[in-house]
Structure 1
């Protein structure tokens, strides 16, 4: 594990599937009060670029923003207090033009930090690619990203975050036995994510802080009348870092209380602090 360089800059990176940035823009202030990130990656922004709530982001200190969105579906955005540049190797995954990935370089004193923000297809309800086109798309998407990752080689000075819509470990779901046949925790999805992670030699930063034998969730269904009491969660939101940054990890936060915010998302914000 690489050691932190002397004089490294503290950096807080957060990720949140906001489930409509225009509807939930007021909640960004609560997120800032709780986590105060320097870089915030959003998924499911659900708005074309021209309707993104720039004024709300600017008021919170996010003077640098790179977005890619579409009407009503998908969409990702990176909001930052620090200068950003869009990475040049963006792809149209599966040829669908559906705004599911944004790669940026964050300008830091120690050199640029790559941040990749992903929103992986959910996959529908039936875990069979032969009868469910949404599930087939999910597997194709992850396979394509894995090939792209392998072509780039092991990640360096990089962070990958987002709603990856897969809960790979036994304690990433409320019941492995009951969930193993449910989309997001099936063996084929877990194997696909494992190949993706290995292709970039990515390090699971959240499990750095919370051991794999402990429960860890970032999503609770809207369908649960009392989500906190039932606690049938899943870890669908992930934060990975390149191996050279593993030694720079300082702390994490899963903002579970955000699931109780008024008109909130079914996902909660997650944050890492690194010394980079």
Structure 2
């Protein structure tokens, strides 16, 4: 069975519902994972998604900030929400698929929005950066997040870290910039290794190639200089590593009307 999943930091789902609909109509992923929805659950545009064919929704929202959502054409078996760093900000939601979705074996999907971390890469001076580092540590320590053996798990989201040299436009110039500092990249890669996760982008695209999913709003024209970062990720467990049949970054979405600063990232698996 073909299973497609897209992750997208939409930076306000209500403000950008029209470009979400545009993407859905063109790409038709089975599951869309959104981050920074920026609305309480009761304000989420459920009716619009249902008209588009996405009737199954798992929400973890809050007013004005953060927020994650999973909208799906396939029914869930169950949903779960985890909190990190003793904070109630809405940064995780997961669902499991099984018999209802006509899958022969269970599949668990995690959707994350890791804290951005502010501007100062020093936890002693910047509580936001301290929070981010603690969050990454807790991702590594949270054993239920980590697949073992034949577990079929997918982890997606805006992880707010560009871990490799060619995940940023300039490795040297961004070493002291939040999202690419050595302490962040080490912690994200440690969480990935501890969970035996495989980063689909870097499994399919050579490390020597530049790959981006985010371009700052601060640039008047994001295409000039192409100063991007790869902050949005799709990881799969070992049991799914050889099931990935396609991977795509919808780069042109950065030029759509009133765009997010992130673009959709999609993987297709044979499950």
Q: Give the TM-score, by structure 2 length.
A: 0.95
Q: Secondary structure at the match of 1:71?
A: coil
Shift of 1:226: 1.2
After superposition, the C-alpha distances for 1:29-57 in whole angstroms (9 at most, x for unaligned) are 21113321000000000000010000111
> 1:147 aligns to what?
141
Between stretches 180-189 and 104-113, larger displacement belongs to: 104-113
Structure 2 CA distance, aligned partners of 1:92 and 1:136?
Answer: 16
Shift of 1:84: 1.2
Change (3 A) 1:127 1:150: farther
Structure 2 CA distance, aligned partners of 1:86 and 1:181?
Answer: 41
Matched, 1:99 2:93: no
Structure 2 CA distance, aligned partners of 1:53 and 1:151?
Answer: 28
Matched, 1:22 2:17: no
**CA RMSD across the alignment:** 1.3
Shift of 1:86: 3.6
> 1:179 aligns to what?
174
> 2:23 aligns to what?
31
Structure 2 CA distance, aligned partners of 1:84 and 1:113?
Answer: 10
Structure 2 CA distance, aligned partners of 1:151 and 1:13?
Answer: 18
Determine if contact 1:160/1:241 at 8 Å carries over to the other structure: yes
> 1:247 aligns to what?
242
Matched, 1:40 2:35: no
Q: Give the TM-score, by structure 1 length.
A: 0.94
Structure 2 CA distance, aligned partners of 1:151 and 1:31?
Answer: 29
Determine if contact 1:154/1:199 at 8 Å carries over to the other structure: no
Shift of 1:112: 2.1
Count of matched residue positions in the alignment of Structure 1 and Structure 2: 267
Determine if contact 2:6/2:265 at 8 Å carries over to the other structure: yes
Q: Secondary structure at the match of 2:58?
A: strand
Between stretches 175-184 and 143-152, larger displacement belongs to: 143-152
Alignment map for 1:1-276 (pairs within 5 Å): 9-88=1-80, 90-107=81-98, 108=101, 109-149=103-143, 152=146, 154=148, 156-276=151-271
Q: Which runs of 5+ in 1 are unaligned?
A: 1-8
Determine if contact 1:47/1:72 at 8 Å carries over to the other structure: yes
Shift of 1:91: 2.3
Structure 1 CA distance, aligned partners of 2:141 and 2:157?
Answer: 19
Shift of 1:68: 0.8
Determine if contact 2:147/2:237 at 8 Å carries over to the other structure: no
Determine if contact 2:108/2:153 at 8 Å carries over to the other structure: yes
